[in-house]
Amino acid sequence: MRDAAPIVYVVDDDGSFLAAISRLLRANGFSVRTYSSAHEFLAQREADTPGCVLADLRMPEMNGLDLQTALVQSPNPLPILFLTGHGDIPSSVRAMRDGAEDFLEKRAPKEILLDAVKRALSRDSRERSARERQRELRSRFDTLTERELEVLSHVVRGQLNKQIAGDLGLHERTVKLHRTAITTKLKVQSVAELTRLTQEAGMFPELVQTLPKG
Amino acid sequence: MSLVTIIWSMIASACLTLAAISFLTWGRNREAWANLFFSLLAGGTAAFAFCELGMMRARTPAEFGTVLKWGHVPTWLILVSLVGFARFYLKAGRTWLAWLVCGLRTLALVLNFLVGQNLNYREITGLRHISFLGESVQIAEGVPNPWMLVGQMSLLALVVFLMDASVTVWRRGDRHRALAVGGGAMFFMFFSTVQSVFVFWGIIRIPITASLSFMCLVLVMGYELSSDTLRASELARRLQKSEAGLHEIEERMRLAVEAADFGVLIRDFTRNEMWASDRWRALLGFSETERLDLQKIFERIHPEDREAVHLMVERARSGYGVYDADLRVVLPSGEVRWVATRGRVEFDGAGKPAFARSVAHDISRQKKAEDETQNLQRELAHAGRVSMMGQLASSLAHEINQPLGAILRNAEAAELFMQDKSPDLDEVRAILADIRKDDQRAGNVIDRMRGMLKRRSLDKRPVDVGELVREVAALVRSDAAARHITLELTVAEHLPAVLGDPVHLQQVLLNLIVNGMDALNGATRGDRRVWVTAALDGPKIVEIAVRDSGPGIPADQLTHIFDPFFTTKPEGMGMGLPISRSIIEAHNGRLWAENRTGEGASFRFTLPIAEQEFAK
């Protein structure tokens, strides 16, 4: 799955532009799929393929921004690149704030367009790896019991076994056993490594502020 | 002086006076033959009165005879002039009878001088003194002349002639004249005939007093004649009065015509003449003395108007009867003047044109004001279009950039393909075709915009309603998409073309659609719709409606939305609807607004269909 060729999904209600840009992208070696509406794209795209979306901002019924919202909430949040005939500030601000890769006019220079596509693809690949890694980490954390998670949350706050035992009403020995189980399950050697991994997996988001940077 | 002398002298002088008056009347009016004959009749009577007096005063039979002989001359005159008077005054009497009377009398006159001492006596043997009116007068005694019968026959013939004439006049219905003139003449003629018969045949012995009857006759005739003269003078007075009235009316007309600054032209077809008032001449730049003809007048008319004016005048002349036109006149100085003219042609009994009367006045100022108003309206409409294009600018830029973007990307792709060692020429050809197509698409958008932005006057021609609606839809499509609004177009099939200026009509439709879309600003995403429908409303009218699914127009605003500068939009100028309404009214249509039951506003306008369509 990770080795599948990335695909540039182009969504535009203007058939003529759709044909033109897909020719250009193909000529530059990209795999392209075209859709004449956001609905069509959302219905037909494959669940988990790498790539990016190139969408017209202004489309009847579901426009580019709507597509972006739908995409962000999907399990395969491909990076989205907006194209517009004539850009308007409010739309572009909203698009960029919501994490659009770029916001280009349809007549933007080819290099900028192609760079943006490449950037989007590499971002997808990066995010995809990150998501993969996170999923893997999450699966490791998933093996922890409730009590072990509780002990972990104290450990990453930098508390000593004695304090943890006091807070949780356990024997210090029991706490030690839990810590050993945690390090074994998460395959870490040190507390520092444990802390970094916890952060990377996005555990205990409420603690993120207080955690020492790994 | 004796009574007889006084009476007979008075008869003579009265008759002479009447004769003189009547003769003078004839002198002034040579066609009044009745007056001439009356004058001769009265003159004859006066002369005869003298003869009678001479006879009554004769001292010897020879003197009596001579006076009597010469007395036949006035008698002849009396009879002949009486016949003449009856013929001319009564306009009656048989011609042969008239000739018979005159012939017999003339014969009698001739016999009077040839046979015997005179017509009445072969020989007067003596005179007898008799008492008459208290004094002694002479009457003759002698042998009656049998030729006297000729004279008396003429008198009888005259009575018959007069009777016949009176009957004719009576039958004609003029009973007064028949009785007074015919009857009177007949009575007195009959009386004097009887007297002469009795006297000259020696049956009774009295002097001849025919002049008395003749005078009565003269008086009756004179009375009739003078009452006619009175009537004539009364008529003349009335005529004068009515002429004065006519003059007054003429004056008033002239005043009105001058006050209205009208020029008047009258054309007399039968005499082929033209008369024009000074004002009219000044209007068309003719001098006050210049002779006018149709050709000269037509030369003054602006070449562009000449043909139409010619057709209109011809139509009026060939039976239509009236014409009415605003036309341009080019003065010799080169100045162009607008003149309104209205005319009427009068026809004679045979249906041929007799007169044409027309008025003309200068309407250059009105025309200038109209032009200025039209210019202002045009400018305003243009400003409205520019402002609307401004509102749509972003959408239109998008509409243009879309095909331009496609062209650019296609060109870039083609360049890459061409770098191949064996380029796919089919693909390149397809690209070129697409580029051409997109260029056309961008060009269309620009043309549409340019059409809307152009300053132009109303140029009406048949406009296809479907095309009109689609053109406008193409302008707003992108804007509608950006605002999540669905535009639904429903144009009835086989709609006839309407008469209008396509750009102005697009402007109205565009304005209404943009308004409809603006009305949806607060509406939820699910049901943002604007409907445009076009259908026939009666055989000659097309109705186009723009409805929206918005909240409708608040009742208190419904009456104000067409007021200038009334707006509910923060950036609105409040001129869109007033401009639209004035455009539709300039197309002889109507534009109004109503709330749809339940929801949304509906703007409707009507347009007349193009005439040739209707004629089909």
CATH of the domain at B208: 1.20.1070
- Chain B nearest CA to A178, separation (Å): 55
CATH number of the domain to which B587 belongs: 3.30.565.10
Residue B299 C-alpha from the chain's centroid? 26
For residues B446 and B463, membership in a common domain is answered with no
- Global pTM reads 0.53
For residues B159 and B297, membership in a common domain is answered with no
User: Nearest CB to A27: which of B403, B407, B416?
Assistant: B416
Residue B300 inside a domain? The answer is yes
B441 at interface of A, judged by CB pairs closer than 8 A: yes
For residues B221 and B270, membership in a common domain is answered with no
For residues B177 and B213, membership in a common domain is answered with yes
DSSP-derived secondary structure for B96-125: HHHHHHHHHHHHHHHHHHHSSSSSSEEEEE
d(CA B157, CA B151): 10
CB contact under 8 A, A85 and B412: no
Instruction: Give tens-digit pLDDT for A167-202.
Output: 888 888 888 888 888 888 888 888 888 888 888 777
d(CA B261, CA B337): 15
Instruction: Give tens-digit pLDDT for B503-521.
Output: 889 889 988 998 888 888 8
For residues B347 and B375, membership in a common domain is answered with no
Res A105: pLDDT: 84
Residue B388 inside a domain? The answer is yes
CB contact under 8 A, B408 and A84: no
Instruction: Tell me whether the CATH fold assigned to A7-133 matches the one assigned to A143-207.
Output: no
Residue B569 inside a domain? The answer is yes
B-chain residues near A58 (CB < 8 A): 398, 478, 481-482
CATH number of the domain to which B273 belongs: 3.30.450.20
Please report how the helices B364-418 and B425-453 are oriented relative to each other, as an axis angle in degrees rounded to 10.
160
Q: Rounded mean pLDDT of B115-135?
A: 83
Number of domains in chain B: 4
Contacts of B330 (CB under 8 A, 6+ apart): B300, B301, B302, B336, B337
Higher per-residue confidence, B567 vs B137: B137
For residues B76 and B63, membership in a common domain is answered with yes
Residue B142 inside a domain? The answer is yes
**Highest mean pLDDT, choosing among A16-30, A33-47, B2-16, B52-66:** A16-30
For residues B464 and B515, membership in a common domain is answered with yes
Q: Of B332, B362, B392, which marks where a domain is finished?
A: B362
Do the strands B486-491 and B529-536 form a parallel or antiparallel pair, or are they unpaired? Answer: parallel
Q: Rounded mean pLDDT of B38-50?
A: 90
Q: How confident is the model at residue A214 (pLDDT cuts 50, 70, 90)?
A: very low
Q: Of B439, B457, B475, which marks where a domain is finished?
A: B457
B432 at interface of A, judged by CB pairs closer than 8 A: no
Contact B155, B190 (CB under 8 A): no
Please report how the helices B61-85 and B95-114 are oriented relative to each other, as an axis angle in degrees rounded to 10.
170
Which ranges of B173-277 does DSSP label H, i.e. alpha helix?
175-177, 184-200, 210-259
Amino acid letter for position B17? T
Taking a contact as any Cβ pair under 8 Å apart, which residues of chain A between 109 and 128 contact chain B? 110
- DSSP bridge partners of B592: B604
For residues B490 and B548, membership in a common domain is answered with yes
Residue B568 in tokens: 């509910």
Q: Chain A: residue nearest B419 by CA?
A: A27
Res A1: pLDDT: 43
CB contact under 8 A, B413 and A27: yes
- Across chain B, mean pLDDT equals 86
Residue B374 inside a domain? The answer is yes
- Give the homologous superfamily in CATH for domain A7-133: Response regulator (3.40.50.2300)
Domain assignment of residue B313, given as a range: 260-362
Residue B616 pLDDT greater than 60, yes or no: no
Res B489: pLDDT: 92
Q: Give domain limits for chain A.
A: 7-133, 143-207
Res B613: pLDDT: 45
For residues B473 and B421, membership in a common domain is answered with no
For residues B47 and B161, membership in a common domain is answered with yes
Q: Rounded mean pLDDT of B35-51?
A: 90
For residues B542 and B424, membership in a common domain is answered with no
Q: Of B301, B334, B362, which marks where a domain is finished?
A: B362
- Can you give the C-alpha Rg of chain A in angstroms? 23
Q: Which long-range contacts (CB under 8 A, 24 or more apart) does B186-189 make?
A: B186/B159, B186/B162, B188/B213, B188/B214, B188/B216, B188/B217, B188/B220, B189/B82, B189/B155, B189/B158, B189/B159, B189/B162, B189/B213, B189/B217
Residue B254 inside a domain? The answer is no
For residues B121 and B131, membership in a common domain is answered with yes
Looking at domain A143-207, its CATH architecture is: Orthogonal Bundle (1.10)
Amino acid letter for position B554? P
d(CA B539, CA A159): 93
Residue A135 pLDDT greater than 80, yes or no: yes
Q: How confident is the model at residue A208 (pLDDT cuts 50, 70, 90)?
A: low
Instruction: Give tens-digit pLDDT for B309-348.
Output: 888 888 888 888 888 888 999 998 988 899 999 989 988 8
